[in-house]
Structure 1
């Protein structure tokens, strides 16, 4: 297990290389944020969802890209139905842009399940996603200096938690896109990490004999997402059950108007029936360090060249994992 020292959590984060074209936008954004937060603190009625969306847009306007180092412990229940919980160390170096490009180098341990047991194996993966295809290289588990295979896919896969899941940028969908897909409302305020935040819920969806929903906690003053909970229940009159939780904490203002978490946790649970206790499924507990906002990035950051004589699997839609020919691999390399 990774042992996290106090210095990992408190070390000074790097200051951003701010783009000149953003300075005026940031001044306006901070002024609007101040007005919105003043209204909230004054005890006025709850803001409507449109005010929340405008606040999200203000934060979005301040972020062109993010870089961060992640350390985590992944916990996973025995997939074969046992009660044992396995723990694996994970580390990842991330670069992510607001328009969805990604690069990471992930290392740590992964589980291999066998007939009656499971073992942990070391792994190393590098991935680049330029907005068209995800390209990745997997290293040999017994020799992390040697490349084992490559893969091309429609979407990136992850070995740890995508950091933007704890920000307004989100994952495949941004927070703003989520709120615009169906009807959401601000339903109240609550205290989270010693701060007053807004509680936002969507219209319940009924499917398969269950009701489903999403609850979002949003810090209006800071303009940041702090928690997302996925909800379920069997009867409409019952209380919602949080069966999955994504939550950031220990937020710091890394760049003017941009608050980002230094810690996070993600848990998923199994819920068999409405009144039964939840059973742990899997989760992560981790830290973020050395956040950098809006650094100047080379185009090559999101490119990955497949070396010669490395087998590359095609996991794009309809390809079914077939091995690419050398000519196809060379064509992929030229497309970058």
Structure 2
């Protein structure tokens, strides 16, 4: 089935023993054990498993075309579980411009725990090859990257990683499975902040990992999920599955609006450079064309000025909200450097915009006012 159909029907395919078209929310934290005793696979305790999480994880694995999924309470919790499935002393490679929250996770939590990590330029395959070590167990890919929109070749990196017995995990939060399917390009795992486009309305926190195969590595990750306990509530799972029913249609709107705004910004006299993989001027355009079916709702651009001028432009908008997250139906933007902390490599004159689903003419008018 097409993604539009899968997004609507997948949640109703499992763990729904009622005639309800919309599965109910199961808020109970415990389940009655059979008088003959508990058997493998029985519902037991909601941290370990519950019907709404099973339904939500089924939607995720179907859309990403994987074998299994594990849902978490946030995107960083999902990323943490992937890295905790490794062992102290293991080495990983990470993009130098990785999402700031995951950068802090690695530097402040997992490196002190014993993980070895190198932050490198991953747009250059030879550079990745040079940084591989005997103990390299995982290569983390984020494409497009946040916020510089660097494009990494998932298939080429996966081939290189597998030749060296390493796992590839792709952060697919920005593209979503509507625009990019990393598992079909050779990646082993996909991670999401489902807070963003899956939720789509800026009102649900969540994360997820989807695996190409239910193998030993994923089982370790599942243990981290169930024993560590950073799981979403039944209500959050229900809301995420509900919101995902409109994901394919929403993403088409995000894609179209973002392309319209990117072309406008590219021609604006106060804009130095636009980072959007759908523009032929983007350095990663050819790779993006090959591995993406749509280019997402995120744009970064440099204004001709300094930090104060960038902040001033953001403050003038009447419609586009000043906020740090992304993926909602409403458009938001921010001076990204201010959100990232002392390790940020983001230019001081960069603005990142999450293009929402408002009418594009209204967004263009607001941009013209703010930039003018």
Provide the TM-score with structure 1 as the length reference.
0.24
Q: Which structure has the highest strand share of the two?
A: 1
Provide the TM-score with structure 2 as the length reference.
0.23
Does 1 or 2 have the higher relative contact order (CA < 8 Å, sep 6+)? Answer: 1
Q: Which structure has the highest helix share of the two?
A: 2
